[in-house]
Amino acid sequence: MAHIKILATGGTIASRTGRDGAASAGRAEDIAASLSGRHSYSVQDITNANSFRLRLADVRIIAEAVRAAVADDAVDGVVVTHGTDTMEETAFALDLVHDSPKPVVFTGAQRPADSPVADGPANLEEAVTAAAAAGLRNAGVLISFAGQVQSARGARKVHTVAANPFAGGVEVAHFVAGTLHVTAIPVRPAPLPMPGEDFDNARVEIIVCALGTGPELFNHAVHTGASAIVLAGTGMGNAGEGFAEAVQDAVHGGCPVVLCTRVPAGPVVPAYGAGGGLDLVRAGAIPGGDLAPVQARMLAALLTSLPATQEEILQALTTGTSRSR
């Protein structure tokens, strides 16, 4: 029997519907009581919020709680309950700094705890099983939802109401009839330093490119003190007229620019001139590989708060792989 530390941050998994029809977050103890008892557990409430209201300071506090939990010899693994809206961001930020072989597994729910078809208890049971699995040691930070366990890196919320709203990460395990089957272990880069208090105030803006948009919002972000900018380009990482010059000015002024794509799947491939990805990279933008803009933002926020050089940011953006089992 393993001992799992459950760190609760609120979200739908602990929410109940009020008289006004709005869901509000409650305590994780209520849903943890449904666990089968296959493993022992303890619960710690970190915060109690819908994840769309979390701030970078909250992410730092969650990271510190996870670091303390895995440092406890009595703890074999950690589960973090979290709202799905920004789970991919917090989970990825923690994966960047996680330096223990013990699994850290995020989970949540799509339906409130008082729903007649609540999915939180089943998701929590599976997350605890994954966190206790010896086969998932050294797998880093994971997301477990509706029978699938995937890497935090690359994960995206791709559906608003589906039972499993996440896709994009490497599937590391899945459940069949309640039994966990491990299929891959992510090959992860060396962990980055833990976020300090400067991380709380890191300002990294995401600028999304669309047909006909110009660099005005991009320039405004630079001129009003952005720590870095993530440019979510079209296609393989392209932008319209004026963006290459704006990127060059930003980088020369000390504001790093990470180039991602607004497309849900596939990497940035700098190939086009005329202001396209090739020109943007030549102007100083750092290709974001396969990272979604919101995950690139978390990486940039962490690195610029350290602070890190342009070369260190480029190195950290090297895409991770996985080795099959």
CA separation for the pair 48, 322 (Å, rounded): 34
Name which of 156, 144, 214, 191 is nearest 302 in CA terms.
191
Residue 225: how many other CB atoms lie within 10 Å: 8
Q: Which residue spans within 124-191 are E strands per DSSP?
A: 141-145, 148-151, 156-157, 166-167, 171-176, 179-182, 184-187
Cα torsion angle, 39, 187, 82, 148, sign: negative
For 316, counting Cβ atoms within 10 Å of its Cβ (0-12 exposed, 13-18 middle, 19+ buried), the class is: middle
* H-helix segments, the chain: 29-32, 56-70, 87-97, 120-132, 216-223, 243-252, 277-282, 293-304, 310-316
Could you list the active site residues?
Answer: 12, 84
